[in-house]
Structure 1
Amino acid sequence: MDSVFLEKLYELFQVPVSIYEFGEEYIQMVRPRRCQVSVRSDPSFADGIVSAVKSQKWPVLFLEEEFIFYGLFKQEKTCCIFGPAARKTIEQEKIRSYKYRHPVFAQTDISYISVEKLSKLLVMAFYHFTGEDVEYYHLPLVTKNGEFSRWTPESDVENYQLEQSEFDRGHNSIETENQIRRIVMEGDMESMKKILSADGFDMNNVGAVAENNAKQWEYMIVSMIVLLSRAAIEGGLNPELSYEMSDVYLRKLEKCKSIEDMMLLGMKAQYEYTEKVHEAKEQLSHLTYIEECKDYIAKNLRKPFKVGDIAPAIGVSRSYLARKFSESEGMTIQQYVMKERCKHAANLLKYSKYPISIISEYFCFSSQSHFGKQFRHFYGMTPNEYRTQNRYIESYSK
């Protein structure tokens, strides 16, 4: 890898950077000081960092501990490591403890950097070395329990792919709660992405509800899931689906092995509830367009309109309307028009004495033979046969 470029990135961002060839004994520290360090003294290096990135095609954020994280990506058999970094100011005693447990980074400074800034640094480096462009807010988050980061609640509810996870925002004010509630209710995906990539998940201002830090997080996540579920229902999500999702999240919360896992679960819940409300609102919009399409057809059934006239009349693209109508009704718009015309023609055949030629012309069929062909398709008989079998005889009581 281009170590000169990595050195320039260090000067700009002040985040330690190193390079590791998979399977080698030594990791190459690029900055803050150039040296080689054996990885044998630190088994968690292979179990954590290497495992987190080895199977990934794209860059990842690796949450090592509650406030220690890395930016990682690989190029062929080489791993580029940005970090360790802290997403908040950490006491020196905790830093010394971390370095003691991770000798590979014993001589490395651990300084604060926001999740957003590290993500931008990571995608910049990834683009330089691979030519692949990735949005910084799409970077996945992995933890020491890699299998947890790959879990998605949709495997228990319905198929779902998480685009991005984040963990740097707190629930420590009524303003924040109201903001999240509004975003979920509106299904505002862009605002949710911005929130999830913002910095500031700080427990210091949260009222203590448990002496144990892990319990404190657990109670917070439970409260948040309840808030999300209610907001989603208010936003139009099916209540049963919302309750099922909350049940799935609460069961997964019981299996969380660390605070990091709880944080990740909370972020996934926020993202998924917002997305589900967004999808529900889109579906409602689709149904509205379909009903408007049907209404247009009903009003113009006896006029020689073209199917292509409908979409502009209701303010939607032709391809979009055609696709959504077919998905909803199981037939094309043209087939639906023919079905409706034949249905109304059948009523005239049954209740009137108008000649079939007049009925055919009345509903804008191109010819009487065309009318007969379409009618047979839907009713399994000719118009004349239908009239014979279904003629309505009016009777009067005397």
Structure 2
Amino acid sequence: MNVLQNMMLFSELVQCGGNVYTWCYDAQGKLLRSNCPDEAFLASAFELFGCKQRMLEHGNRNDVPVTLGTALGLLWGTAFEKEEGKLKRVWVIGPVFHRDVTMRGIEEGLKYYSKLEISVAWTIQLYKALEEVPTLQNTIMNRYLLMMHYCLTGQRLELSDVNSSAAQDERLKSDAIPHDRHKIWMAEQGMLQMVRTGDLNYKQALSNSMSMSAGVPVQSSDVLRQSKTSVIVFTSLVCRAAIEGGLSPEEAYSLGDSYIQTAEAAKSLDELHPLAMMMYDDFIRRVHKHRTNPNLSMQIQKCVDYIEMNLDKKIVAEDLAALVGYTEYYLTHKFKEETGLSVTNYVKFAKVERAKVLLKSTPLSVREISEQLGFATRNYFSAVFQQVTGKTPMEFRET
């Protein structure tokens, strides 16, 4: 078999494992062929992020394969076909992510390329294309490179022979993009506060925290190991927050150990990804159940839960009465009798408590928070907040 036949077979074999595409460039960098359905756009990304230039420079100086990384976590692998010592063609596989990334991580990575003046339309198309990009461990990508090099040259290399620029690109990204550790800490505190209070409407705080931090910054070429470490640390933090919220240490530690063991036993990222969310939800629901006032009737507890879950809406006694099948008059009297507060004041206090979490854990403006909590105007929200806490929203955030 000649080189082209070898590479056709190699491309088909790699495709059996997922959407890992193969590309071929000539010695001047002209794209000759690929099996990628989004060829034109991803080829432009390969060039825009500087990978094509580095590929040609490396190929003209070296014979061994190289991985080319970006600040977004994208990775391409390249191997070189030479004739009489001169570069003839370059074969590329990818792109893949060499670690799990969030949309926030991609946005932060793009800041490293701000001088390129990337348009909004191009960025939107990039996000769409990246949805189909698989995650592949570095070791697997390097083994693919060794196979590709063998198909081109008949030469067997070791994993240690593969050059990599991915680590350098990650260091460049870290140096170029400052991380606001205080904001990350505040977001995490808001997330843990949801556990302490057993707040079932926790998704906003969790989303804010995850948008600021992709997880525990463990430097590892093993994506699965890094993800396991993040889940284990996250579980430990949530477990302690649940104990602070009133869950017994026996129940909390037993539950935490169970999730940690499940994380350690995970064989793939598909098994691991849902685990953190399941664990977080489980702890919050147990704390919520523990903190449920035993003196509340089932109907009033249902009203209280509804209020907590719908703080973004305008909530009135008429809605709660319909929820539990009471008349509005009977509901308002029974609600105050059991909770000590009128429906209006309970809703007001609940919204202010949620506002405190958002002010502490998010960069949302006061206006955005007031809109998110269903207040008619920013001024009314500020007045209610000051009436309850003695401080304006901005004074509370500053302290």
Q: What TM-score bracket applies, with the shorter chain setting the length? A: 0.3 to 0.5
**Which structure is richer in relative contact order (CA contacts within 8 A, separation 6 or more)?**
2
Which structure has the bigger radius of gyration? 1
If the length of structure 1 is used for normalisation, what is the TM-score?
A: 0.32
Q: Normalising by the residue count of structure 2, what TM-score does the alignment of the two structures yield?
A: 0.32
